[in-house]
Structure 1
Amino acid sequence: MRVDGVPLHVVVEGSGPVVVLSAGLAMAWFDWDPVAALLVARGRTVVRFDRPGHGLSAPAPTPPGAADEARRIAALLDALGLDGPVTVAGHSLAGFHAEAFARLYPARTAALVLVDSSVEETPRALLPSALRTGAARALGRAVTAAGLPAALGPAARRAAVRASRAGRAADPAARDLVRRCYRTGRVWRGALLENARYPDTAAEVLALRAARPLAAPATVLVGHGGGTGRAARRWLARQAALADRIGARFEVAEPAGHLVMLDRPDQVARALLHAAAAAS
């Protein structure tokens, strides 16, 4: 579908109340497959889309921000003719986008679920945004020209997924889909641009928290692999503080790595259904 002038890859399945699922940095629609199947079986319409430069979507003409991505979700729902309140879920970086949507479009938000979401208490950037964006574009062009996506893209994807799952489980995605998405420089450039804008997006969400109250019930679902090290304890504490800060229910998925939707799809689906039930 063409949304705001950008061709987006969109997958819509099922019927019933709408759930919108947005994946994290450099991830794709198929990373929600296990969760989507459970939600469709429970009578939900599941909307998944690849953000510009991700999955099978075209590149974005401008670097993305939190409000930009919130508007993209709203425009996508308009294009699909879905005007009722939706449950919106964001994983990792997309947690910023989902929260921005809930704050900017309260009448269109039934519930918000943040899945091992990015969290920044005091976002800081060492370089100006324009310089970071320019450097990301230049690096993306250089990486593509060198042929690295075609040579290393799928292997890099599989290694990143394995490192982000409990027990270093394998990447369940179909190999043909991984090759189709990750052998392209487009996806690498899209991820570099989003990453370059990360501190700006985090700061944007903090500003929205101060200006736009969160009206919908929210859940913060964090993955925990069971470790007791300092990094694991600190991540749990930061996620708990996030839940407290936005008035959300806090839940731990265990055992799970950062890719909670692959490690514990059943718990993610339950959290989404619970959030929607709380809204009604």
Structure 2
Amino acid sequence: MAAQFVRIDGLPLHVCREGAGPVCVLSGGLGSSWFDWDLVVPLLTPYRTVVRFDRPGYGLSAPSERIPTAAGEAARIRAVLDALGLTGRCTVAGHSLAAFHVEAFARLQPGRTAGLVLLDGSFEPDPAPRPAPALRDLTARTAAGAATALAVPYLLGPAARRLAARENTVCGEDLAPAALVRRCYRTGRALRAALRENTTYLDVAAELAELRRWAPLPDAPVTVLAADDGRDAPRTHRGLARQRALATVLRAEFRTTAPAGHLLMFDRPDSVARAVLDTA
């Protein structure tokens, strides 16, 4: 794995570049780190140049003081690619919350987009921004700082991460390397980043909804891959219906993969890789 740090807007970001061929970018959801793609990457590198990176505060990347936005994350993806000298078109794949980011990239950087893949992506049909974003962001940063001062991330961060992974997979376990989980989730950076992204979730959704009104998607294939855990349960049906609605809005190809929880890169890395390879 060719890992390095690139400086974007003054911040050191942890970036991994592997493989050869047409470029694809993998961007993780809320609270994700680069190693969450470890099972998918070997299935892509024989055919693609794979780029994955940690957003500010996650993994090994430095934290940022800027409030998260869809346009800001789209610009970050472009800046990472530019820093690596990859200035052509690429396929962008986003899991969960990062579906907002990669869709924004496709709309704002149509000349750089060869395909768009949304992996059990976040979707809000009629979002509205919440008031006082700066105050909410300050509250999130203050809460994270207080928790860090009390050593909450150090004591509970890895366990909370493992619990979230078990709840969002069919396999029922966190398949990420335990040593890396401890290294990245014992610090307050990841908690701070997650709280800030969570508190701005509806703001970013509303920003993307506005982008959809004036910035069309490029003439490139779009795929929505939905996780189906195989249960005949209301939560499962609601999730699949939400993904179908997202595919309808984007006029995308709709696929499901089963059995898979929300962390479908753990349960079905083969389906994730196939969706990326087919969308180009």
- Counterpart residue number, 1:22: 27
Q: Under a length normalisation based on structure 2, what TM-score does the superposition of the two structures give?
A: 0.96
Q: Which amino acid aligns with 1:198?
A: Y
- Give 1:140-151 correspondences, 5 Å limit: 140-151=144-155
- Counterpart residue number, 2:3: none
- Counterpart residue number, 1:84: 88
1:107-165 CA-to-partner distances (Å, cap 9, x unmatched) read 10000000000111122455421221111011011110110010011111111101000
Secondary structure at 1:75 match in 2: helix
Q: Does 1:272 align with 2:259?
A: no
Larger helix fraction of residues: 1
- Give 1:1-280 correspondences, 5 Å limit: 1-41=6-46, 43-124=47-128, 127-168=131-172, 170-215=173-218, 216-276=220-280
Q: Output the aligned Cα RMSD.
A: 1.0
1:174-198 CA-to-partner distances (Å, cap 9, x unmatched) read 1110111000001110111111111
Q: Does the aligned pair in 1 maintain the 2:129–2:206 contact within 8 Å?
A: no
Runs (4 or more) in structure 1 with deviation over 4 Å come to none
Q: Which amino acid aligns with 1:15?
A: A
Cα separation, 2, equivalents of 1:132 and 1:119:
22
Cα separation, 2, equivalents of 1:114 and 1:150:
32
- Determine what percentage of the aligned residue pairs are the same residue: 58
Secondary structure at 1:241 match in 2: helix
Q: Does the aligned pair in 1 maintain the 2:221–2:279 contact within 8 Å?
A: yes
Q: Under a length normalisation based on structure 1, what TM-score does the superposition of the two structures give?
A: 0.96
Gaps of 5+ in 2: 1-5
Cα separation, 2, equivalents of 1:91 and 1:183:
23
Cα separation, 2, equivalents of 1:21 and 1:132:
29
Secondary structure at 2:38 match in 1: helix
